[in-house]
Structure 1
């Protein structure tokens, strides 16, 4: 992170939807404690109250929202301090920020680890760029993920393992990783079934993938 504001930045304001969500969690914890305490479950009641308060506090502190600096769509939830690599659900652009503002990251950004998330659904092609730095790729690096059940149920059919030959230049390795967890970036897609996400270090590669595959 560098300066606290810059041209094109947008302000983070409180999202009352996420604030209400945090209050609902706190109320649920208090309600559970109220039910357990009269029945002699004092420790359980205290645990329910503390757990609810802790979760609610975390949500409350990250209950901000801001217009996407690239398209104007809402990005939420956001913290009111530092935000790193937050993805707009509308345009797919990534932003970062601090001091109550966010701004679009530069097109050639290279993250320290695979951060930029690409959902792998349907047919897709990989661009001929290094997924670690965005320069021309000259070789590939094989990555594999052992995928679980279609909808997370032991009775659902298991999906086949997924192997990708991730493009790399001669200088870099480890530019990509496969993620089988339902991430917050794609919560809606994940609810439809098992979702595999390809994460890459190069934002240029990420943008090229989306352009190549109509994303």
Structure 2
């Protein structure tokens, strides 16, 4: 077998293990699933799993990351919509879309609802979310360049904060089996109001990198 074909076969096997793991972990939870179960579903030996993942936890994280790709796609779509500058409408639409997507992807829904082993820090460290967070930071930086977002904010930190708030809210909605697809509740509206106030430029504020006469100032 040529090396390139071996590589493709390995990639197919790894992908098959992740697909099988998503189904198993979603229906049974982390603790009740064994690597032997997943290997049997794919038709490989249990030892073959270790060629691709060092342990069950690594396979679990890879499976959650793969399942989270659908939620990130929903988030990208929501951020591309025109909501007339309303952060409340944007984040409300985003949260509702993520809840709907999570119901179609029960593994990531379990994790966001706190039903399995991943801590919030490990969820935010997932590669799929890290890529999306960098895209969100770029969007915020663009907002800063046109004066829609405060220029003294660190775009990457602001993106992390926004993502954390939205994911926590989605986890709450999934865990409580409710949606926010229509009018948001007062608590969520208050949180978004604070975010909006934190992001918007202060009226009449001078950009921190410039003085009033337009000359650069030391930071």
* Larger proportion of helix: 2
**Alignment TM class, shorter chain as reference:** under 0.3
